[in-house]
Amino acid sequence: MTDAHIQNLIDHAITVSQRAYAPYSGYHVGAALLAEDGQIFTGCNVENATYPAGICAERSALVKAVSEGVRDFTAIAVVTRGGGTPCGICRQMLYEFAPNLRVIIADMNGTIHHDLALKELLPYGFSGSDLRK
């Protein structure tokens, strides 16, 4: 990926973060998931008065993509105001489809805080192959 591709992915994440529904935490998150075929799927966090029912931005983007029949991904950009990293549940959900995913974490100004592999965020991740052992 070129720097321009990365910045474009971050821009998509910033745009969708503005649509976050986060009246309880006030913490807006945007994610832009790049598929192997070049498509970009975006997602924001959507909270709920029953707190655990809410969904994170990363999973929001992932389920949109999978629902559209897309399962192969190369990178995800995640933006928060402070460059926070994806939660454990999102790491696990992403690992299911893309253990080799590149994860770019930035803030709302587009400044990159981390650029790493999902396997670094989730070492020794559990996958379907473990169930067959």
Binding site for ligand THU (CB under 6 A): 22, 25, 27, 29, 45, 47, 54, 56-58, 86-87, 90
Catalytic residues: 58
**Closer to ligand THU by Cβ: residue 23 or 38:** 23
Residue type present at position 87: C
Q: Residue 36 CB, nearest distance to ligand THU (Å)?
A: 23
Q: In the block, which residue shows the tokens 């399962």?
A: 71
Residue type present at position 2: T
The total of other beta-carbon atoms located within 10 Å of residue 96's CB is: 14
**Closer to ligand THU by Cβ: residue 71 or 81:** 81
Q: Residue 101 CB, nearest distance to ligand THU (Å)?
A: 14
Q: What are phi and psi of 21, to 5 degrees?
A: -110, 95
**Closer to ligand THU by Cβ: residue 69 or 123:** 123
Q: Residue 92 CB, nearest distance to ligand THU (Å)?
A: 11
At CA 47, angle to CA 36 and CA 75, rounded to 5?
A: 15
**Closer to ligand THU by Cβ: residue 38 or 78:** 78
Q: In the block, which residue shows the tokens 């503005």?
A: 18
* Phi-psi region at 126: left, alpha or beta (left = phi > 0; alpha = psi -120 to 50): beta
Q: Residue 75 CB, nearest distance to ligand THU (Å)?
A: 16
What's the full length of the chain, in residues? Answer: 133
